[in-house]
Structure 1
Amino acid sequence: MRNELIYLVLIFGLLVLPRALQRFKIPAPLTCMVFGTVAMLAWGDESHDPLVGWLATLGISSLFLFAGLEVDPRELRKGLKPLLAHLAIRTLTLAGTAWLAWHYLALEWRPAVLLALALLTPSTGFILDTLERLGLDEAERFWVTSKAIAGELFALAALFFVLLADDPGHLALSTGALVAMLFGLPLVFIALGRWVVPHAPGSEFSLLVMVGLVAAFATAKLGVYYLVGAFVAGLVARLLRIRMPRLASDQNLHAVRLFATFFVPFYFFNAGTKVPEGAVSWEALLMGLALTALVLPFRIGTIWLQRRFMFGEDHRSSLRVSVALAPTLIFTLVLAGILRDRFALSDTLFGALLLYATLNTILPSLVFRSPFDVDPMDTRKAPRHPEDAIADDAGRNTPRTVSLD
């Protein structure tokens, strides 16, 4: 009876209290993480509950399944040239940041690259879950979404390579397994759609989630992380939208979002319980503030300059897009954990990364009118974005192709 009461209090605390605190412009995930850190400081290792760990895995996997489902190839092709320019600049900044980490923090090249990814990669799943409550217009939301998804695709590919680069044989086998997954998942979805769905109407959501979880655990076994497989499963389901329209339908998309909404708080709470005591120190605080003061203005300024001078966007809209892309919470948490577990990252730097992620996640809720919300529903119309005209002009000058989705 005592365990049931504890779990009930935990569920209430993670699903209700963080929402109530959003009125003070505190993002709910940060509140959940603080609750976990407090539990760690109060009860130590007793706060590491296996059930909460499983719920956390469900949360991060379903969130990246949702992020994969949000990938729209047609929308990415619409702004292909601006996105390629964005990725080229992202590659240069990533290489420069990794070099600085290697040179000044005495890190090997692999942890240096992972640290750069942790600092520079926006958390697409988190941004998509909160985007429509920030008061952006339709064009700004489009470009925030496109740039976040393109950056995440790039980051996941880099993460896969870096984690396995120390063993070329393992890298080759894992790459082969990932390619096999890319070709095998469509067959799995089609088989389920042919032999299961006709006899179980309305089962598309549960089948989608289960395939996503299996793919997530498969990539975890390959030596990368759950989020890679879940994202790939969502992406494959999206590409099958024409052949199996109900698999990645708007209703299923919303259902996966709600599913993730319920379980993601457990991920942040679980992450908070794994914060080492050494990460809660004055040294970590000062280093986190220094990282934020250096990296966050650089990230915002880079995107602002890119959009202001390459695409002729007005300074206000450029700033809004740049600030909306600031949160790195989930990617920073995931990569900080990998750096600590596999590369013996110091507690001080781990704590600094958490503070950096916390501050850049709070920033949009302070700048924009509305606080973050985990279930956005409203949609707004707005004037066209300058880059829309660029993309449309490019489309009129190129032959039309058949959409893959």
Structure 2
Amino acid sequence: MLPFSDPVLIFGSVMTLILVVPLFARKLRLPEIVGLIAAGTIIGPHGIGILARDQTVHLLGTVGLLYIMFLAGLEIDLHQVRKNRSHTIVFGLLTFSVPLAMGIPMGIWLLGMAVPSAILLASMFSSHTLVTFPAVGKLGLAKSRAVTAVIGGTIITDTLALLLLSVIASTTRGDPTVGFWVRLLSLMALYVAAVLVLIPLLGRWFFRHVAVDENSEFVFVLAVALLSSFLAHVAGLEPIIGAFLAGIALNSLIPEKSLLMTRIHFTGDIIFIPFFLLSVGMLVDLSLLWTGSGAWIIAISMTVVAIVAKLGAAWASQLALRYRRDEGRLIFGLSVNQAAATLAAVMVGYDIGLFSEAVITGTIMMIAVTCLVGSIVTERAGRTVALHEEQADFDASSAPHRILIPLEEREGARELLDVAMLLREKGSHEPVYPVRVAQEGSDSEQQVAAAEKILAHTVVRAMAAGVPVTPLTSVDVSVTSGVLRVVRDNRISMILLGWDGRVGSKTRTFGRIIDAVVEQSLQLVMVNRFCEPVSTAGRIVLILPPFAERQPGFEAVITAVKTLASQAGTTLLALCSAQTKAAAEAFIAKTPPSVSTSIQPLGEWKAVQRSIADQIETDDWLILMGARKGEVAWQPILDRLPGRLASQLPTTTFSVIIPPTQRWDSQQAAEKILDSSYIFSTFTRDRTMLQMDVETVEEALRRLLGSHFGEGSEPTRAVTELLHAISQEEPVELTGDVVLLHTHVPNVSGSAVFLGVSKHPLDVPLASGRPHILIILLDPVGQDPARHLQALADIARIMRVPDMAQVLRTARDYDNLIAEIALRTIAET
């Protein structure tokens, strides 16, 4: 019976649509947003009637709308807004006033409305909803200047439009008294102040003292966003304003490159936002357009005015702010979409008798058309802007770094990984390199086995955050030489070290091992003593020694610290001598990224310890720029200062950053393409099967292992059962199309790698994509764990070769695979 009434069937149907519709939209070269809205129209109550717009759809759709606004506030670059606040104000006022000026005459002269009705109708054109914001987020443009201006302008125009809605509604009811205005404005001001002041305090306290893991953090964030939205309604504002303000309030506490942010995006992109888009489509009733010409006139008039007015506002903003043409089109694509505030206004107007049903129908048609136009324009203009920014920002000397994290224990590994994720450049494909060094001796094998457990924890956390990772182990005569050898072999550019803050009587600065790594390396080194999660820092305080501006590598230090401040959402305070301030102030201000920065002079450097302590606040992250002995900025006090500060400020997160002694050249360090002989020594002919006609992992395992152990043999059956269980519970996903299964078995004498490529997607329930490629690594029981980890790293390195997965899927046979890879190797060299 239609519509579906069973809640499980309703949810299952919607999830099927969320899966299938984007695939069809991509084939038709339409934005996914358009596909979901169209699907809502088709399956909704005004279409074939499979689903009703009942409480379930309405609830999840409302949460999806709030989620969009919450993400917009969470991802907005507050530093960019502060720097370009004039852009936000200019666009906000233009996108409010231009549609209002066009909508009022249209309502009065064309549609014959009374003045209050015409003003309310025009206010609907002024507001807009960031329906297409997820599209720019996927393109990496959430913090571009055009998007930042639109997001900030949205809060201005929607607030003014909703305020105008309240005034018209109150005037129509006959109670626009002084008391009404005082109560309305007082509640709004109190609410905004409470959200922007109390939520950051509550969030910082929760993340420091209560949060157990990212699950509890996610639940806390979602609860704050929804409660803030409800309280906005109580204060006389629309819930979307509350969600946006909650995102702004939590902005500095949730780094962009963090596991928590990944989970927030995943939940919104998979469930809540698609539900909202489907619910918008369900409102469209195309049959009303055939009942007479009145609905057509209203729908066409409203749609044309909404599009032309928003286009005019975007064009005027482009000229006033001196943006490029593609940025102007992106502004139009983001701001033309009508949805939330528009629906709120039309329903209020209908309830108080200002609007007829024809206006509601016209509004729904306007929403459908503007969302279609907005999604197409946003997609196309966004790609142009992204391409321009990628080309403009490219610089071989500042391209993605390679970050090494030497680990001794599991404690502190999470914080070091968080810092590494903050420092990774946007769009970087370089993995993070966690390493555990075991010293040579009778127990070296036990040490390496223990290293596997420590590294596994870091690997899982990094992969969950979408960060590629290459775990390494090294057995050497000392930890220092092991770390330095890994640095040389992998062309590392940054080394992140953990430190407990203690200094022994025989220690010069940090400790025997860390001191040796610092002195014998040429890379940027950051030594960290963590007391609180770095995401809860309210400010970064950078201490620059005298002559810091003359130190080779000074630029790298400033870039790294400003990157940390930008990603952590904090301000930056630089303390230095008056001479350094005068020489480096302009350079620090201009060095990207954009961060709210202030520079203050310190007093006598000999009394620097006391001066620093006087300026440190509870939630500060203190960073001291150090130097290696004999360098321009080095002086004896720098060797003793870290220990003294760590002792004097025991509850302050404290880092020491030592600049590199040579410029990082990512092009020189770029990994060469793997030669074909190396690849085929790993994937041998007798253990490779291409174009397999299988659909299950179990069947693929049976065929691959049967070729080695014998079809139907006991070893084949036993290993197949073991690996099938691993594929269902803990597979390693190298890419969306490649799954790796690895274990130790007693039936092999050395590392055995099997490669299977299926014509059909394999049933791997925990995979994010639809894998066709299955790789198996078997090592004998009792083998040196270092060799197992190295084999894993080799396989991962091969699969990072560009288009390797596509080559494997299209190769007809092994000889064809050899020829294809040989051709690509020649072309690459």
TM-score class normalised by the smaller sequence: 0.7 to 0.9
User: Closer, same or farther in 2 for the Cα pair 1:323/1:174, shift >3 Å?
Assistant: closer
**1:214–1:88 CA distance, 2 compared to 1 (3 A):** closer
SS at match of 1:16: helix
* Residue 61 (structure 2) pairs with residue 52 (structure 1): no
Checking the alignment, whether the CA contact within 8 Å between 1:271 and 1:333 is kept in structure 2 is: no
2:240 is matched with which residue? 227
Worse-superposed segment, 36-45 or 2-11: 36-45
Looking at structure 1, the residues matched to 264 and 35 of structure 2 have their Cα atoms a distance apart, in angstroms, of 23
Return closer, same or farther for 1:254/1:116 CA change in 2, 3 Å cut-off: farther
> Cα distance, 1:2 vs. partner?
4.8
Q: Deviations over 1:76-124 (max 9, x none)?
A: 2322334443344334314413432452334455554443343244433
User: Corresponding residue for 1:347?
Assistant: 357
Task: Show the counterpart of 2:125.
Answer: 119
Equivalent residue, structure 2, for 1:381: 390
| 1:256 and 2:264 correspond | yes
Measure the CA separation in 1 of the matches of 2:375 and 2:51.
34
1:279-294 pair list within 5 angstroms: 279-281=288-290, 283=293, 284-294=295-305
Q: Tell me how far 1:372 sits from its aligned partner.
A: 9.2
How far is 1:172 from its partner?
A: 3.4
Describe the shift of the 1:160–1:87 C-alpha distance in structure 2 as closer, same or farther (beyond 3 A): closer
1:321-344 residue CA offsets vs partner (Å, 9 max, x unmatched): 354335314344454444444555
**Contact 1:326 / 1:363 at 8 angstroms: preserved in 2?**
no
**Residue aligning to 2:160:** 158
Q: Do 1:329 and 1:361's aligned partners in 2 also have CA atoms closer than 8 Å?
A: yes
Encode CA deviations 1:136-189: one digit per residue, 9 max, x unaligned: 9x6x97233123113211123213422332145445334333333333334355
| Of 261-270 and 352-361, the range deviating more from structure 2 | 352-361
User: CA 1:402 to 1:171, structure 2 compared with 1: closer, same or farther past 3 Å?
Assistant: farther
Say whether the 8 Å CA contact 1:25–1:371 is kept in structure 2.
Answer: no
Which shows bigger deviation, 13-22 or 204-213? 13-22
Q: Distance in 1 between matches of 2:202 and 2:85?
A: 33
Cα-to-partner distance string for 1:194-220 (whole Å, 9 max, x where unaligned): 357534322332211101101112223
Answer with 273-282 or 87-96: which moved more: 273-282
Indicate the RMSD between aligned Cα atoms, in angstroms.
Answer: 4.1
Worse overlay, 220-229 or 332-341: 332-341
Higher relative contact order (CA 8 A, sep 6+): 1
Q: Name whichever of 72-81 and 290-299 sits farther off.
A: 290-299
| Contact preservation (8 Å) 1:285, 1:355 | no
Matched, 1:330 2:321: no
2:202 is aligned, of 182, 188, 191, to: 191
Say whether the 8 Å CA contact 1:62–1:256 is kept in structure 2.
Answer: no
The answer on whether the counterparts of 2:225 and 2:246 sit within 8 Å (CA) in structure 1 is yes
Structure 1, unaligned runs of 5 or more: 385-391
Three-state SS of the structure 1 residue aligned to 2:134 is: helix
Paired amino acid for 2:362: A
Contact 1:285–1:351 at 8 Å: present in 2 too?
A: no
Q: How far apart, CA to CA, are the structure 2 residues paired with 1:328 and 1:237?
A: 26
Change (3 A) 1:333 1:109: same
Contact 1:220 1:226 in 2 (8 A): yes
1:149 maps to what in 2?
A: 151
Summarize the Cα distance change of 1:326–1:51 in structure 2 as closer, same or farther, 3 Å threshold: closer
1:17 aligns with 2:17: no
- Indicate which of 298, 302, 307 corresponds to 1:296: 307
Q: How far apart in 2 are the matches of 1:272 and 1:52? A: 11
Q: Helix, strand or coil for the counterpart of 1:123?
A: coil
Contact 1:123 1:328 in 2 (8 A): yes
SS at match of 1:345: coil
Structure of greater Rg: 2
Q: Do 1:14 and 1:265's aligned partners in 2 also have CA atoms closer than 8 Å?
A: yes
Q: Are the structure 2 counterparts of residues 131 and 8 from structure 1 closer, same or farther at C-alpha, using a change threshold of 3 Å? A: same
1:363 lines up with 2:385 in the alignment: no
Do structure 1's residue 79 and structure 2's residue 90 form an aligned pair? no
Aligned equivalents of 2:358, 2:74: Cα separation in 1: 36
CA distance in structure 1 between the aligned counterparts of 2:93 and 2:289, rounded to whole angstroms: 36
Distance 1:130-1:117 versus aligned 2 partners, 3 A rule: farther
Structure 1 residues 18 and 344, CA gap change in structure 2 (3 angstroms): farther
Q: Secondary structure at the match of 1:26?
A: coil
Residues 207, 4 of structure 1: alpha-carbon distance in 2 compared, 3 angstrom cutoff: same
Could you tell me the percent identity over the aligned residues? Answer: 17
After superposition, the Cα gap between the structure-2 partners of 1:366 and 1:341, relative to the gap in structure 1 and judged at 3 Å, is same
Aligned twin of 2:8: 4
Which letter does structure 2 place at the counterpart of 1:184?
Answer: A
Q: Residue 41 in 1 paired to residue 46 in 2?
A: yes
Letter aligned with residue 101 of structure 2? G
Q: 1:25 to 1:357 in 2, by over 3 A?
A: farther
Cα deviation, residue 60, structure 1? 1.4
Q: 261, 265, 279: which one pairs with 1:270?
A: 279
1:288–1:355 Cα contact (<8 Å) kept: yes
Please give the TM-score of this superposition, normalised by the length of structure 1: 0.75
Identify the structure with the greater helix proportion.
1
What letter matches 2:98 in structure 1? T
Deviation per residue, 1:315-367 (Å, 9 max, x gap): x4365335433531434445444444455533333333333333333335555
Taking the aligned partners of 2:23 and 2:181, their CA distance within structure 1 comes to: 42
Distance 1:356 1:270, change over 3 A: closer
1:205·1:247 contact (CA, 8 Å) conserved in 2?
Answer: no
Gap regions ≥5 residues in structure 2 = 171-175, 394-585, 591-595, 600-829
The corresponding residue for 2:250 is: 237
1:23 corresponds to which letter in structure 2? K
Q: Higher strand share goes to which structure?
A: 2
3-state DSSP class of the match of 2:165?
A: helix
1:118 maps to amino acid? M
SS, match of residue 339 in structure 2? helix
In structure 2, the CA distance between the partners of 1:318 and 1:297, relative to structure 1 (3 Å rule), is farther
SS at match of 2:232: helix
1: distance between equivalents of 2:287 and 2:182?
37
Which residue is 1:32 aligned to? Answer: 36
Q: Judging changes above 3 Å, is the alpha-carbon distance between structure 1 residues 223 and 301 closer, same or farther for their aligned structure 2 residues?
A: closer
Matched to 1:259, the amino acid is T
- Choose from 128, 132, 140 the match for 2:133: 128
Q: Contact between 1:246 and 1:252, CA under 8 Å: does it hold in 2? A: yes
Contact 2:33–2:375 at 8 Å: present in 1 too?
no
Q: Select the residue among 157, 165, 182 that pairs with 1:172.
A: 182
Aligned residue for 1:182?
192
Name the residue aligned to 1:387: none
Return the letter of the residue paired with 1:80: R
CA contact (8 A) 1:189 1:237 kept: yes
- Whichever residue aligns with residue 363 of structure 1, its letter is V
- Deviation per residue, 1:284-323 (Å, 9 max, x gap): 3454344444442443244335434x45555x43653354
Letter in 2 for 1:178: M
